[in-house]
Structure 1
Amino acid sequence: MSILATPAIVCSLRQHGEHGAIARLLTPDDGLIAGYVRGGRSRAMRPVLLPGNSVAATFRARTEEQLASLTVELAHSRAPLHAEPLPAAAIDWACALTAIALPEGTPYPALHSALDGVLGAVEAAPAARGWAVALVRYELLLLAELGFGLDLTRCAATGDATDLTFVSPRSAAAVSRAGAVGYESLLLPLPPFLLEGGTGEWSQILDGLRLTGFFLERSILTDWRADVLAARERLVERLKRAVA
């Protein structure tokens, strides 16, 4: 029997049988792992297995092919955030994206660290602007880790590395202001904070979400439009209402 004890972030939970549940957790060193939690839908376990919670997880499996049994202990709860519509939408989306997009059993330590950072920012920030930029960067990193990264180093049309203001939806490469002349309406705005660091204005943050959302939908979430992307659309709409 193999046993893995590790810290992890709860990403998704679905019913399995009358009382059990299958949880997908993101671990620092072993990537996304699924496990069966006996009594996972019980009153005691539901608050522990909320998406975004940090847990101490123990997976036990007789073979590599077998779904592991999973026991968890709560390390850090983000349950109060699930009562707030905007933070709850952010957590639901970031965790759902992770659970759907990543192959199981492949290490992504940078993504684990980044997701933990996004969740921490949602928890700590007094306003959404404090964590929305982190969410855009997380989506951009996830695209890159899965082989669909954007090339934001130089203009696809002129070769310049300065004044990059757009991204080509066709090539996923940056385009400078000069290279975009006459084609602006066909390109996606590139928010400055993705090149310069720091935060951005709300209009730039929404541009960033539009940018990453386009490539996530095209390259990764092609079969999940109806349910998973609905969570992202709810988040974006709530952000728009919050800044209106």
Structure 2
Amino acid sequence: MITWQDEAALLSTRAFGETSLIIEVFSATHGRHAGVVRGGTSRKVAPILQPGAQLAVTWKARLDSHLGTFIVEPIRSRASAAMGDRLALAGLNAVCAILSNVLPEREEHGALYDRTIALLDLLGQGDVWPLAYLRWEQALLDEMGFGLDLSRCAVRGVNEDLAFVSPRTGRAVSRDAAGEWANRLLPLPPVLVGRGDASNDQILMALTTTGYFIEQRLMRSLGDKPVPAARARLLDAIARQVD
């Protein structure tokens, strides 16, 4: 019998038989991992198994290749921070859906796990959450091998007046170097490199750029999967929030 224990964030659940659930969690040392929770639909267990919940999990299987079973204990729920808050609920759903779709199964991503937990712990803090989410998307692209290089212009090597991102290389381009090609490039608002105005308008512009690389690079590398619709709902919630 193979057994491991860890702390994890719950990403998703789906029915399995009449009374059980298959859950998918994200942990620091075991990555995205699925298993069966026996009796997961019961009145005692079901309230624990809400997306985003922080759990102590024990996974057991006869062979490592098996689906296995989880025993779960609650550490903290994040549902209360999301209920009644459009932005928090949209954010929680977007993070869980994206991770479920892009993380390789059972592959360790400790740094991204830490960033994810820090982001989820900010749910309900609408004044800081959109910017924290932008930084999380940048970290996600880095972790998955599609990080943006915004340190200097890809054409002239300067680090001044950087205004665009090349959709082909993910590298910054200065306004002067862009020239007549500017309309074919992606925007590089200062907030994307940690400067200037962090208003929701600027964050949404930056998320247009990170979203391009999530859709056109990351998701295509996974078999041309679509970006989860939950991300679009999150961007709509950010747009509706008053700065």
TM over 0.5: yes
Aligned to 2:135: 137
Name stretches of at least 5 consecutive residues in structure 2 with no aligned partner. Answer: none
Amino acid at match of 2:235: V
* Counterpart position of 1:29: 29
Is contact 1:89–1:235 with CA below 8 Å preserved after alignment? yes
Offset, 1:103? 0.6
CA distance in 1, matches of 2:144, 2:31: 13
Counterpart code for 1:215? F
Change (3 A) 1:189 1:161: same
Distance in 2, matches of 1:198 and 1:51, equals: 34
How is 1:156-235 mapped onto 2 (pairs within 5 angstroms)? 156-196=154-194, 200-222=198-220, 223-225=224-226, 229-235=228-234
Q: In the alignment, what sits opposite 1:85?
A: 86
Matches of 2:211 and 2:190, distance apart in 1: 17
For residues 218-240 of structure 1, the C-alpha deviation after alignment (integer angstroms, 9 at most, x for no partner) is 12234442xx5211111111211
For 2:196 and 2:11, the matched residues in 1 are separated by 27
Q: Is the 8 A contact 2:11 2:25 kept in 1?
A: yes
Q: Offset of 1:197 from its aligned partner?
A: 5.8
- Give the counterpart letter for 1:26 in structure 2: F
The CA deviation at 1:196 is 2.7
Where structure 1 has 5 or more consecutive residues not aligned to the other structure, the ranges are: none
Deviations 1:96-127 (A, max 9, x none): 1111111111111111100011111224x2x2
CA drift of 1:198 comes to 8.3
Q: Which amino acid in 2 is paired with 1:236? A: L
Q: How many residue pairs get matched? A: 239
Instruction: Check the 8 A contact 1:165/1:189 in 2, yes or no.
Output: yes
Name the residue aligned to 2:110.
Answer: 109
- Where 1:211 maps in the other structure, the secondary structure is helix
Contact 1:28 1:107 in 2 (8 A): yes
CA distance in 1, matches of 2:62, 2:77: 30
Is 1:19 aligned to 2:19, yes or no?
yes
Q: Counterparts of 1:51-62 in structure 2 under 5 Å?
A: 51-62=51-62
Query: TM-score, structure 1 length as denominator?
Result: 0.91
Partner Cα separation in structure 1 for residue 77 and residue 211 of structure 2: 28
SS state at 2:8 partner: strand
Give, in whole Å, the separation in 2 of the partners of 1:105 and 1:205. Answer: 32
CA distance in 1, matches of 2:45, 2:18: 14
